[in-house]
Amino acid sequence: MANMAPAHTPESTGADGETRRDFLLHTTVAFGAVGTAMAVWPLISSMNPAADTLALSTTEFNLGGLQEGQAVTIVWRGKPVFVRYRTPAEIEAARNTPMNDLVEPAKDEDRVKKGKEKYLILVGVCTHLGCIPLGTKAMDARGDFGGWFCPCHGSHYDTSGRIRKGPAPENLKVPPYQFLDDTTVRIG
């Protein structure tokens, strides 16, 4: 009885003592990890924006044809964007407005790029209920302050796009933009 050998002795298949069971365990874990990664990849990939969405994320346009006092509307992300080449009188009126006369105080200098103050670029959606204000075309009503007028509920914006009268709670938004050169602007 003293010479009894253990009932089960795993046979070593490798020099460092690994068994066949260890090999199968490591192989199964590796296949499981690869399989999980292959299953999760489409989920993560589906969270990226589509190519058509990325294409609309920026818009470039040329200011070369725009004349003083003229405004145009371009489309960015499906929204109208007002671009106005302001006259010196419009810039002067915007800068001389007392801050206590504004519903949402904002300096004109903070709403335009330094050195390009004559160009005002705004998202053309009223901040009240999302209507598109008038004031871009020459024959449009520009409201009591010479900027834009929202015909839906009567909001009046000044020549800097700031709300001056009416139910709109905020100024017209300034989109992110940069000048690529003297006449080319990229929005977004």
> Among 125, 62, 128, 152, which residue's Cα sits nearest to residue 136?
125
Q: Which of 59, 63, 165, 43 is nearest to 116 (CA)?
A: 63
Question: Could you tell me which residues come within 8 angstroms of residue 149 by beta carbon, excluding any fewer than 6 positions away?
Answer: 133, 134, 135, 140, 141, 142, 143, 155, 156, 157
Indicate which residue of 8, 26, 128, 153 is catalytic.
Answer: 153
Place of tokens 């900027």: 147
Residue with token string 């004109």: 108
Location of structure tokens 């409201």:
143
- Closest Cα partner for 136 from 74, 79, 179? 74
Active site residue 26: no
Question: Do the Cβ atoms of 76 and 186 come closer than 8 Å?
Answer: no
Q: Which residues are catalytic?
A: 153
